[in-house]
Amino acid sequence: MQHSAVLNVMIKAAHRAGRTLKRDLGEVEHLQVSLKGPRNFVTAADRRAEQIVYEELAKARPAYGFLGEEGGARAGTDKSHRWIVDPLDGTTNFLHGIPHFAVSIALERDGAVVAGLTYNPANEELFIAERGKGAFLNDQRIRVAARERLADAVVACGMPHYGRGDLALARHEIAAAQQNFAGLRRYGAATLDLAWIASGRLDAYWERDLSPWDLAAGMILVREAGGFVSDCDGKDAVLTKGQVVAGNDTMHRELLRLLKAAGNEASREPSKEAVAP
């Protein structure tokens, strides 16, 4: 399949970073049995992958801006274009040798995401999309699932942990999902959750407390695969609010309805858990 010049740049960067992460994954498994544990190592792995992605993208498009999870924002002379990069999404999975993690790269033009890529080097699955050109997995066109009944559908979500996020709200939302969907999944890599919506493996997904690099590429993958993406109030402030609800038209609408009802229930409940500042 012929890719555009900008996608070729993104694919080359993701493959190069993916090679070092695959090698590091082996090390991580080894390191997990050693004294210090992998955490420091992984951090080095995140940074190394981001540096590789930055070098490849900067070589091809030196004027573009860059926002990366590890290195933060780097301004470019071309104020219209900005890369948004998560060099290793699914760090906790990676730490445990769970082969479910990804390199994620998105290109923003004048504030709108116009191209996105999510690559899992462990199984070599490359998800790509460009505005108006559709979404693909390993060069095969992908579409969101067509399921209409919640009772047949599998939904994925994030789960607040380590004192992050609103535990009471999450408990109500998860209970509502358990009562209505055929299955509930927590996979631990937001970029892959969205890529799996785009490829029809998952029917619906929601999560809060995310960052632009967790969301940007996945947003265009789902939309170019015929799906719907919004924040938890059904608005288009996904990147600014750090929230996402995704699925086909029916799943998106139904999940928003469930989250709203769960939110009302949670707000009626006297708060027990202190939410971390």
Nearer to Ca ion, 91 or 230 (CB): 91
> Binders of ligand IPD among 153-192, rule CB under 6 A?
158, 188-190
Binding map of ligand IPD across residues 30-69, x = CB under 6 A, - = no contact: ----------------------------------------
Its sign, for the CA torsion 236, 238, 239, 241, is positive
Q: How far is the CB of 73 from ligand IPD (least distance, A)?
A: 17
Work out how close the CB of 175 gets to ligand IPD at its nearest, in angstroms, rounded to a whole number: 19
Q: Is 69 in the site for Ca ion (CB under 5 A)?
A: yes
| Residue among 86, 130, 193, 231 that touches Ca ion (CB under 5 A) | 86
Convert residues 212-251 into a mask of x (bound to ligand IPD by CB under 6 A) and - (unbound).
--x-------------------------------------
Residue pair 266/168 in contact by the 8 Å Cβ criterion: yes
CB neighbours of 175 closer than 8 A, spacing ≥ 6? 262
Cβ 221 to ligand IPD shortest distance, Å: 15
The closest alpha carbon to 175, from 118, 259, 246, belongs to 259
Could you tell me the CA-to-CA distances from 14 to 4, 33, 49, 92, 237 in Å, in that order?
15, 29, 9, 20, 27
Q: Extract the tokens encoding 257.
A: 């309805």
Site residues for Ca ion per CB under 5 A = 69, 86, 88-89, 214
